[in-house]
Amino acid sequence: MIIGLLKDAAPEQRVALLPEHVKHLIGCKTQLIIEKGAGKLAFADDAFYEEAGAQLGSRPEVLQKADLLVQISEPGEALVREVKPEQIWLSEYKPLWNKKLVKQFLTQGITSFSMDSIPRTTRAQAMDVLSSMATIAGYKAVLDAANHLPAFFPMFMSAAGTIRPANVLILGAGVAGLQAIATARKLGAQVEAFDVRSAVKEEVVSLGARFVEVEGSREDATAGGYAVEQTEDYKRRQQETINEHAARANVVICTAQIPGRKAPLLISKEVVTSMQPGSVIIDLATSTGGNCELAEDNQTVVKHGVTIIGQSNYPALMPKDASKMFGKNTCNFLELLIDQDGGLKLDFDDEIVRTTCITHQGSIYNERVKSAIK
């Protein structure tokens, strides 16, 4: 099988496979063709790919020769039109949001896999790009907040007086939230975190943060570690608690999500006005509507003296390590699609392959996408 690596469109700076991953895949008896310049913004020059044993080509050459095409994010409509039905598409293309794209893959009869549909199971952990990228987002969000805050994160006692540590409130203690807690604690802030899943309390506390509790949340052990929709009464009490804590916070990092749904609204306009001027809100969920009413996707705005940052692609701002992690996850997944002679193997009895497959021979394979698109 020939694997073709495409260059993602700007402003993306990551690349789906680095030369080290290419070398590994060549060891699995596949061949690789790399679009010229694919890794440049991730500090992986063409020469390194050649050294790893890959061939370089123009985009038309990659599209012409590859059996399987890989890139980081969703392709545009025009690019998909150039993909042939016998080729396999692999990227993180957010099928629950990009329904038009799913329909295009279906209509063209293309087999497509989306890396954000990897199940969150122990066996699939090494392929879980959502967790890898959320780790980066949680880390970068805190650094960004510290950069914008007109105050220290840690406590300082000096001859010029005592500076109190910053109060940081993290909403959502999943992968991004836990990483944000760890990073804010390392910078010396006082950290509080809230999540509807009380199961995360232990982890929050073990990272040195205080867990903000609201009793009576609905939890579902079958939801694969994800949150489920809450009752109206719980939402009202939750809101009152968040409002109180946000008003005291210098920094709020929003990471709450329920997969496939619009992000829950947790910080209203009124809450922003109650915050101290100079405070910072980072909203990681702006691509799905945002947790903060005043956040705008990929914009930094100042409202009522509060800086609100809606950055939906922090991993692209850390392209070197983000590509290293994304590439390793992709490489591990690709191994499931490669037989012992380096040929293509589509084993839909394998739960990871079946769940990650979005379209195949004109049908939708992933159950969640199937019910969302009906």
Instruction: Output the six-digit token pair for 43.
Output: 């500090």
According to CB under 6 A, which residues from 45 to 104 bind ligand NAD? none
Q: How far is the CB of 70 from ligand NAD (least distance, A)?
A: 19
Q: Where are the alpha helices (DSSP H) in 172-317?
A: 175-186, 201-206, 232-248, 269-274
Give 209-229 as a 3 state SS string: CEEECCCCCCCCHHHCCCCCC
Q: Which of 31, 121, 300, 312 binds ligand NAD (CB under 6 A)?
A: 312
Question: How many binding residues for ligand NAD (CB under 6 A)?
Answer: 33
Are residues 306 and 249 in contact, defined by beta-carbon separation less than 8 angstroms?
no
Q: How far is the CB of 280 from ligand NAD (least distance, A)?
A: 15
320 class by beta-carbon count within 10 Å (0-12 exposed, 13-18 middle, 19+ buried)? middle
Q: Does 39 bind ligand NAD (CB under 6 A)?
A: no
Q: How far is the CB of 202 from ligand NAD (least distance, A)?
A: 13
Backbone angles phi, psi at 361, to 5 degrees: 45, 45
Q: How far is the CB of 242 from ligand NAD (least distance, A)?
A: 8
Q: Does 175 bind ligand NAD (CB under 6 A)?
A: yes
Which residue, 35 or 195, has its beta carbon nearer to ligand NAD?
195
The residue number whose beta carbon is nearest to ligand NAD equals: 174
Which residue, 264 or 327, has its beta carbon nearer to ligand NAD?
264
Q: Which of 73, 250, 311, 329 binds ligand NAD (CB under 6 A)?
A: 311
Which residue, 19 or 172, has its beta carbon nearer to ligand NAD?
172
**DSSP code per residue over 88-124:** EEEE---TTT-HHHHHHHHHHT-EEEEGGGS--STTT
Separation between Cα atoms, residue 101 and residue 77, nearest integer Å:
7
Instruction: Output the six-digit token pair for 28.
Output: 């699995």
Which residue, 3 or 176, has its beta carbon nearer to ligand NAD?
176
Per DSSP (E only), the strands in 209-305 are 210-212, 251-254, 280-283, 299-303
Q: How far is the CB of 244 from ligand NAD (least distance, A)?
A: 15
According to CB under 6 A, which residues from 182 to 211 bind ligand NAD? 194-197, 200
Separation between Cα atoms, residue 113 and residue 110, nearest integer Å:
10
Q: Which of 263, 271, 294, 322 binds ligand NAD (CB under 6 A)?
A: 263
Site string for ligand NAD, 104-143 (x = CB under 6 A): --------------------------x--xx--x------
Separation between Cα atoms, residue 123 and residue 93, nearest integer Å:
22
- The H helix count followed by the E strand count for the chain is 13, 17
Q: Which stretch binds ligand NAD (CB under 6 A): 23-31, 40-48, 245-253, 308-316?
A: 308-316
Q: 132: number of CA atoms within 13 Å, CB side?
A: 24
Q: How far is the CB of 255 from ligand NAD (least distance, A)?
A: 4
Are residues 106 and 83 in contact, defined by beta-carbon separation less than 8 angstroms?
no
Q: Does 255 bind ligand NAD (CB under 6 A)?
A: yes
Residues with active-site annotation: 120, 125, 128, 131, 226
Q: How far is the CB of 250 from ligand NAD (least distance, A)?
A: 20
Which residue, 66 or 285, has its beta carbon nearer to ligand NAD?
285
DSSP H or E segment with residue 77: helix 77-81
For tokens 């061939």, the residue is: 55
Separation between Cα atoms, residue 183 and residue 228, nearest integer Å:
27
Return residues touching ligand NAD (CB under 6 A).
Answer: 130, 133-134, 137, 171-177, 194-197, 200, 226-227, 255-258, 263-264, 266, 284-285, 288, 311-315
